[in-house]
Amino acid sequence: MTAAAVAGQIGSINVRVRRRRRLVVAGLVAPALLVVCGALLVPALNLIVQSFLESSGYGGVVYHFTLSNYLDAIRDPTYRKVAWHSFGLGALAALICVVAGYPAAYFITFRLHHRWRNLALFLVVISLFTSYLVRLYAWYTILGGNGIVNTALIHLGVVKHPLLFLLFSRWAVLIAFVNVFLPFSVLMLTSAMQNIRPELLENARDLGASPLRTFSRIVLPLTMTGAVGAFTYTFILTSGDYITPSLLGGTSSTSLANIVSDEFVALGNRQAGAAISCVMLLIFFTVYLSLSRLERWKGI
């Protein structure tokens, strides 16, 4: 083989190796992508299509393009009221989780020694691993007519009859949301705070900054990403939660997610349910985008 021919062969090996690498990588990632496409994207597409079709009684569909599902969803005053309450509650839960999480995250990150910190975080993770339904159901034992709170209040003589509005109300839903999502918030904030070197805070203290100033000028901006992430995550998952309102909300507190769920299961109107959920997703997406802007905020 002439030198030139060999050199040419080596050059093409380079190209072949690169091409083979790309194929291998594509092959590795393909099955996972297939799962996501097959079990999520395709059904999602179908859902979007459905939202533009008409329903014909329970479970039936008429293949006729219409915007009525969307128009009904947007115009109906009940839906709008429920939407306000759902998103409002979700936002409130998210806000409480982030605000309440900050002091704990700060304490865990900067005031605890290494070993205690790991233990604290481990405890937080334990609470995440416990069954969601169990944590919801537990509030029956606390807020119920025969629950801890009422029994205590009666024993202490504060009230004569059990307060029945504690359970099956918007507040029970809120407390349950906070109870479930606070661990996430603490973990995300702790993780964001662990990127701040403690020397930074000591420096600020040296230069005369009060603890509050240190917090607002240094800790807050540097952990903004974590805080926004925790808020967005909590907001989206609580606003889309239909089980907690169903178990703890009673009849007065239906959420938008319940409406969707009912359209599907109770009423068999998949088309209306699809339209409402598409609107919800749009709202979530908008909130997510605007909050991402907030991440670059530099502090008070």
Q: Which of 137, 266, 296, 297 is in the footprint of other proteins by CB under 8 A?
A: 137
C-alpha 205/C-alpha 171 separation (Å) is 40
Should residue 39 be labelled a site residue for other proteins when binding is judged by CB under 8 A? yes
Q: Which of 95, 221, 233, 250 is in the footprint of other proteins by CB under 8 A?
A: 233
| Phi, psi dihedrals of residue 81, rounded to the nearest 5° | -65, -50
Write the single-letter amino acid at 120: A
Q: Which of the stretches 74-82, 131-139, 187-195, 212-220 binds other proteins when contact is defined by CB under 8 A? A: 131-139
Within residues 147-166, the interface with other proteins by CB under 8 A covers 147-148, 151
Alpha-carbon 59 to chain mean position: 30
Within residues 259-298, the interface with other proteins by CB under 8 A covers 260-261, 264-265, 270, 273-274, 277, 280-281
**Which residues contact residue 270 at a Cβ distance below 8 angstroms, ignoring those fewer than 6 apart?**
50, 55, 59, 61, 263, 264
Least Cβ distance, residue 29 to other proteins (angstroms): 4
Q: Which of 95, 196, 218, 237 is in the footprint of other proteins by CB under 8 A?
A: 237
Record the tokens describing residue 211, joined without a space.
Answer: 């603890």
Within residues 66-125, the interface with other proteins by CB under 8 A covers 100, 103-104, 106-108, 111, 120, 122-125
**151 backbone φψ class: left, alpha, beta (φ>0; ψ -120 to 50):** alpha
Q: Which of 75, 134, 251, 289 is in the footprint of other proteins by CB under 8 A?
A: 134
- Bridge-partner residues for 62, per DSSP? 54
Cβ nearer to other proteins, comparing 170 with 241: 241
Least Cβ distance, residue 227 to other proteins (angstroms): 16
Q: Which of 241, 245, 269, 287 is in the footprint of other proteins by CB under 8 A?
A: 241
C-alpha 278/C-alpha 39 separation (Å) is 18
C-alpha 289/C-alpha 293 separation (Å) is 7
C-alpha 39/C-alpha 192 separation (Å) is 33
Q: C-alpha angle 188/192/198, rounded to 5°?
A: 135
Within residues 41-60, the interface with other proteins by CB under 8 A covers 42-44, 46-47, 50, 59
Q: Which of 86, 239, 253, 269 is in the footprint of other proteins by CB under 8 A?
A: 239
Residue with tokens 């629950």: 147
Cβ nearer to other proteins, comparing 275 with 298: 275
| Phi, psi dihedrals of residue 83, rounded to the nearest 5° | -60, -50
Q: Which of 19, 80, 81, 205 is in the footprint of other proteins by CB under 8 A?
A: 205
Q: Which of the stretches 34-42, 188-196, 219-227, 289-297 binds other proteins when contact is defined by CB under 8 A? A: 34-42
